[in-house]
Amino acid sequence: GQQVMQIPQYQHVQEGEDFTTYCNSSTTLSNIQWYKQRPGGHPVFLIQLVKSGEVKKQKRLTFQFGEAKKNSSLHITATQTTDVGTYFCAGSGAGTASKLTFGTGTRLQVTL
C-alpha cells in the first residue's frame, strides 16, 4: 500500500531560524495536504497542493509539490514559538473517494 515518509522526525531550532520538513510518497499522488498538530491537539488543515511543481505561500510558510508528484516540502522562515507542533503531510491518489494517507510527521520545537 501507499506509504508516506517524512524527514526529519524531530527538529529543534532557535527562534528566528528557518525550518524545512520533507515528505516522500511511495506512489504518485493526486494531491497533497499539510496539517499542523499542536501538542495535545488535533490536526488542523494548512494547505492543499494539486499541480505538479506547485508552490504556495502562507505568510512565513512555503509549500512545494514536486514535479513528479511524489514529494513535497514545507519551509518555515524565521520560526516563532507559535510554530511549535507536529507537521504532517497527507497524500491521496486519484478519485474523490481515495483515502488520505498521513505521513510520519515532523515534530518542531522552537526555543528562545
Partner 1 sequence: EAGVAQSPRYKIIEKRQSVAFWCNPISGHATLYWYQQILGQGPKLLIQFQNNGVVDDSQLPKDRFSAERLKGVDSTLKIQPAKLEDSAVYLCASSLVAAGGPRKTQYFGPGTRLLVL
Other CB atoms closer than 10 Å to residue 82's CB: what's the count?
A: 9
Indicate which single residue of 15, 38, 45, 57 sits in contact with partner 1 (rule: CB under 8 A): 45
Q: Which residue has the cell 488535533?
A: 42
Output the smallest distance, CB 6 to partner 1, in A: 8
Q: Which residue has the cell 495535545?
A: 40
Output the smallest distance, CB 87 to partner 1, in A: 10
Task: Give 5 or 13: the residue with its C-beta nearer to partner 1.
Answer: 5
Cα 101 from chain centroid (whole Å): 12
For residue 1 the three cell numbers come to 500500500
Say how far apart CA 55 and CA 36 lie, in whole Å: 18
Q: What 3-state class would DSSP assign to 103?
A: coil
Site string for partner 1, 21-40 (x = CB under 8 A): ---------xx-x-------
Task: Give 30 or 81: the residue with its C-beta nearer to partner 1.
Answer: 30
Say how far apart CA 66 and CA 103 lie, in whole Å: 16
Residue 25 forms beta bridges with which residues? Answer: 4
Considering the rule CB under 8 A, would residue 84 count as an interface residue with partner 1? no
Indicate which single residue of 71, 105, 108, 110 sits in contact with partner 1 (rule: CB under 8 A): 105
Binding-site ranges for partner 1 (CB under 8 A): 4, 30-31, 33, 41-45, 48, 50, 88, 90, 92, 96-105
